[in-house]
Amino acid sequence: MSVIASDPSADIRGDYLRLTRQKRLYGGLVLAIFLLLMISGFSVAEGRNAGGFISGLPQILDFPAMVFSEAWEKRAQLPGHLVHYVPALLETLNIAAVATILGTGLAMVLSMLSTRGLALWPRAIPLFRRVMDVMRAVPEIVIALVLIFVMGGGPVPAVIAIAFHTGGALGKLFSEVNENADLKPVEGLASVGAGWAQRMWLGVVPQVSPNYFSYALLRFEINIRASAILGFVGAGGIGYELKNTMSWGQGKFDEAAAIFLLLFLTIVAVDQVSGYVRHHLTRQGGH
């Protein structure tokens, strides 16, 4: 009798231990494979790099030191440089802002076309979702370079490239927001004969606009970085100036330092402000 009673509990205990051991083994195995991938990946990357990691490590501060010492020598000119590059910074910010505005507009339309219950053509929902996937997948630099070839350098290719990507990226987030929108206002508007655009603009947008705004602000932050990078490949703005001073090399490092500083301060400032605003927006929204 006692033998029968003790057996199942011993079984459970053994089962549990076996399960734990198995789980640990799998966890350890995954970790080991992951570490192996990291180490071998790093050595492959190092092998294909122009300079090695260990040999480059001591030099890592050489360049910042060079830039800093030159900027320090000519520190009297630094405020002048800062003012000088403000228009270029403004252009970079304008590119990011216009691209964010256009991209947000595009994303609003696309997201509504691909949300169940709101879509104008419900059958085309998968199509618009795929369209947004593709728009998200294309890196900005690809479109920017192609458009620079056709339109010549300048801010417009960068705006189009960033807006295109933003449309896809925000569209996905917006359609998630739309799923939670209350459909009653939309039905109410439909009952009084409102068209699709009117239903969306008056029925959906007021509900979701705080979330839209919060996401768009986050995107604006990302787009400033993207716009600076695109400037580096020829789309104008502060990235272009940075490229020029960098390819000039020694003698213009004080200007490079001014650009670094401007870019850094801008990114941090926008980051802080948008973080603050977004925090308040989402709290107001009752979350």
Q: Which residues of the chain form contacts with another protein (CB under 8 A)?
A: 34, 37-38, 41-42, 44-46, 48-53, 56-57, 59-60, 62-64, 91, 94, 97-98, 101, 133-134, 136-142, 145-146, 149-152, 154-156, 159, 225, 228-229, 232-233, 239, 242, 246, 260, 263-264, 267-268, 271
Tell me how far CA of residue 149 lies from CA of 67, 109, 213, 232, 244, in angstroms: 33, 29, 34, 15, 19
CB-wise, 6 or 43, nearer to another protein? 43
CB-wise, 196 or 232, nearer to another protein? 232
| CA dihedral over 269, 271, 277, 283, signed as positive or negative | negative
Taking the complex as a whole, the smallest distance from the CB of residue 1 to another protein amounts, in Å, to: 35
Taking the complex as a whole, the smallest distance from the CB of residue 106 to another protein amounts, in Å, to: 14
Taking the complex as a whole, the smallest distance from the CB of residue 187 to another protein amounts, in Å, to: 22
CB-wise, 52 or 251, nearer to another protein? 52
CB-wise, 83 or 134, nearer to another protein? 134
Q: What gap in Å lies between CA 109 and CA 196, rounded to an integer?
A: 11
Taking the complex as a whole, the smallest distance from the CB of residue 14 to another protein amounts, in Å, to: 19
Residue 248, Cα to own-chain centre: how many angstroms? 31
Give the burial string for 230-249 (b: 16+ CB within 10 Å, else e).
bbbbbbbbbbbbbbebeeee
Q: What gap in Å lies between CA 11 and CA 27, rounded to an integer?
A: 24
- Nearest residue to 212 via CA among 97, 132, 105: 105
**Residue 72: left (phi > 0), alpha (psi -120 to 50), or beta?**
alpha
Taking the complex as a whole, the smallest distance from the CB of residue 155 to another protein amounts, in Å, to: 5
CB-wise, 32 or 142, nearer to another protein? 142
